[in-house]
Amino acid sequence: MSMRPERDNRREKPKKEFDELLLEVRRVTRVTTGGRRLSFRATILIGNRKGKIGLGISKGNDVASAVQKASHEAYKNIFEVPLTKNDTVPYPISMKYKACIVKLLPASEGTGLKAGSSIRSVLELAGYSNILSKMVGSNNKLNNALATIQALSAYKHADYFTALKGDKKEEAVSEAKEAQVEASATEEKTPAKKAAPKKTADAAKKAPAKKATTKKAEKAE
């Protein structure tokens, strides 16, 4: 009796583009007229470690439903963050959210990720590997994560700065043209001054001769 090789019918699951991280799960209560209602709040971070990140917060009657809703919200809130060649931020920035203040500073290659609490989780999923950060105020994970997300979303894109430079150049050119037009208009209004006649060499010689003649006349008198 021939043995047939067993077929592996299990299909390989496609790899997800985004990594998910359950940041926090908390039990929350809501006081109503009928009494207290218990529910769960889940906070989920997603990111592809290549410049895209999202944060989702949702509530549910149980942990599973809260996590599922939060994951769905995180995918809705995906946005791009600026990444330089050294996998750091382009320039320093500070952001305040409620009692939390988060500061992000660019770092050279090989520095590593100097961050703690939920700030580190956000920066890792965004794709940063060289960055300096500082957390001031509250140690609340959710508020620190939201402050970091707001700081990253506040960065201007490179196209903004190129457009800004172009506008400044155009303004400088227009100002130079206006100044040139004003200068030409003032020159046309003011009449040209006549040049004073130059004294010739003969006139310079005659002047002392006149003085001599006047002295002789005085002596004669």
Confidence of residue 169 (pLDDT cuts 50, 70, 90): low
- The reported pTM is 0.66
Percent share of the chain, pLDDT over 70: 70
Strand, coil or helix: 195: coil
Q: Give the C-alpha distances (Å, rounded to integers) separating 48 from 20, 54, 56.
A: 9, 10, 15
- Characterize 171-206 residue by residue with b for buried, 16 or more Cβ atoms within 10 angstroms of its Cβ, and e for exposed: eeeeeeeeeeeeeeeeeeeeeeeeeeeeeeeeeeee
pLDDT digits (tens, 9 = 90+) for 95-113: 999 999 999 999 999 999 9
State residue 5's pLDDT score.
Answer: 56
Q: In what order do the strands lie in the sheet with 52-60?
A: 19-32, 35-47, 52-60, 79-80
Q: Give the C-alpha distances (Å, rounded to integers) separating 204 from 22, 132, 208, 210, 214.
A: 103, 82, 8, 11, 17
Q: Give the C-alpha distances (Å, rounded to integers) separating 220 from 179, 207, 215.
A: 68, 21, 9
Type of residue numbered 51:
G
Q: How far apart are CA 189 and CA 192, in angstroms?
A: 9
Q: Which residues contact 37 (CB under 8 A, 6 or more apart)?
A: 29, 30, 31
Percent share of the chain, pLDDT over 90: 56
The structural domains of the chain, ordered by start, are 19-156 (3.30.160.20)
Helices (H), the chain: 63-76, 117-126, 141-153, 158-189, 201-220
Confidence of residue 1 (pLDDT cuts 50, 70, 90): very low
The whole-number average pLDDT for the span 39-58 is 95
